[in-house]
């Protein structure tokens, strides 16, 4: 067999492929964020009640800045960084991931966002029956050169009862489900469960996955005795966040999905 045939039968030699992303771009426009979005990946989040790691699945976005002289970034490197830490990501290594993104993609700034369902066991108010409630949590971490900024977001559904409706109605009052979104920065770790507790304690009533009839009666009457406008809701949450020693900045949004109007009610408070 000739030498030529031997080379053909073996593994092909590595072919030099053109790196289009590294080519020069002449439009002279820097891009603030470029990367991948909608990546689903298993993560672990520490649970306050048991100090254990809760397994969940996050939808992840990873971005870096792109200098004006480069045509594009290397999208595959984001996924390589994410997978280099194993099949499950622990949130404590977020700063490490940001640093690796900066290094691998030769970027000054790196951004990582993770949104995931978070579960808390709750007991019904009268029967004490336990059930799992799901909430939406989000981590947003930005590395600008050597500084890392972290924002926690928690979305909590609650029950609100209209004070105006109660005051003018002969029977009952209209009520609805509301959604509160809290974003915050803090000096030290603030537990997701603590944010949930602050929001639920600020509404007419919190929600439950499982209620028997005695529980339904208690929740209905609790809401009737504690009417709140959407304005009351954001103010109640803000007052409690003002008292928290570690919270340095927050943004509180509330939206009521009105039951007797064809629109929603909305309010927002931001500090810092």
Q: What is the CATH number of the domain that holds 105?
A: 3.10.270.10
Q: Which of 266, 188, 196, 262 is nearest to 234 (CA)?
A: 266
Q: Which of 263, 251, 223, 49 is nearest to 140 (CA)?
A: 251
Domain that holds residue 257: 29-271
Contact 49, 121 (CB under 8 A): yes
**9 located within any domain:** no
Backbone phi and psi for residue 151, each to the nearest 5 degrees, phi listed first:
-125, 130
Domain total of the chain: 1
Q: What is the pLDDT of residue 4?
A: 47
Name the residue with tokens 């989000």. Answer: 138
**Which residues in the chain show pLDDT less than 50?**
1-8
- The SS3 of residue 208 is coil
**111 located within any domain:** yes
**11 located within any domain:** no
Contact 78, 107 (CB under 8 A): no
- The SS3 of residue 143 is strand
Q: What is the pLDDT of residue 70?
A: 78
Q: Which residues contact 31 (CB under 8 A, 6 or more apart)?
A: 65, 66
**84 located within any domain:** yes
Contact 115, 136 (CB under 8 A): yes
Contact 246, 233 (CB under 8 A): no
Q: What is the pLDDT of residue 68?
A: 80
**188 located within any domain:** yes
Q: What is the pLDDT of residue 10?
A: 54
| Whole-prediction pTM | 0.88
Q: Which of 250, 243, 148, 254 is nearest to 200 (CA)?
A: 254
**122 located within any domain:** yes
In angstroms, what CA-CA distances link 83 with 40, 80, 223?
Answer: 12, 5, 47
Q: At what angle do helices 94-104 and 75-83 cross, to 10 degrees?
A: 140
C-alpha to C-alpha distance for 78 and 62, rounded to whole angstroms: 7
Q: What is the pLDDT of residue 162?
A: 93
Altogether, the residues listed in the chain come to a count of: 272
Which helix (H) or strand (E) covers residue 140, if one does?
strand 130-144
Q: What is the pLDDT of residue 66?
A: 86
Q: What is the pLDDT of residue 21?
A: 62
Q: What is the pLDDT of residue 183?
A: 98
Backbone phi and psi for residue 179, each to the nearest 5 degrees, phi listed first:
-125, 125
**253 located within any domain:** yes
**231 located within any domain:** yes
């Amino acid at each position: 067999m000739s030498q030529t045939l031997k080379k053909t039968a073996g593994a092909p030699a590595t072919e030099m492929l053109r790196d289009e992303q590294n080519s020069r771009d002449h439009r002279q426009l820097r891009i603030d964020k470029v990367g991948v979005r909608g990546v689903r990946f298993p993560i672990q989040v520490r649970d306050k009640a048991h100090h254990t790691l809760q397994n969940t699945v996050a939808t992840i976005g990873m971005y870096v800045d792109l200098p004006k002289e480069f045509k594009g970034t290397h999208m595959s490197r984001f996924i390589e960084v994410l997978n280099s830490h194993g099949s499950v990501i622990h949130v404590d290594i977020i700063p490490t991931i940001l640093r690796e993104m900066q290094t691998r993609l030769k970027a000054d700034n790196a951004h990582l966002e993770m949104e995931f369902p978070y579960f808390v066991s709750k007991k019904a108010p009268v029967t004490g029956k336990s059930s799992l409630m799901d909430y939406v949590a989000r981590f947003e971490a930005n590395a600008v050169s050597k500084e890392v900024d972290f924002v926690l977001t928690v979305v909590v559904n609650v029950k609100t009862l209209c004070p105006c409706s109660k005051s003018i109605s002969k029977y009952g009052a209209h009520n609805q489900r509301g959604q509160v979104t809290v974003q915050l920065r803090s000096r030290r770790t603030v537990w997701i469960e603590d944010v949930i507790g602050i929001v639920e304690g600020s509404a007419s009533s919190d929600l439950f996955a499982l209620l028997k009839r005695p529980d339904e009666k208690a929740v209905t009457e609790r809401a009737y005795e504690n009417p709140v406008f959407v304005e009351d809701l954001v103010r109640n949450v803000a007052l409690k966040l003002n008292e928290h020693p570690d919270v340095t900045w927050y943004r509180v949004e509330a939206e009521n999905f009105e039951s007797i109007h064809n629109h929603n009610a909305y309010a927002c408070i931001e500090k810092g």
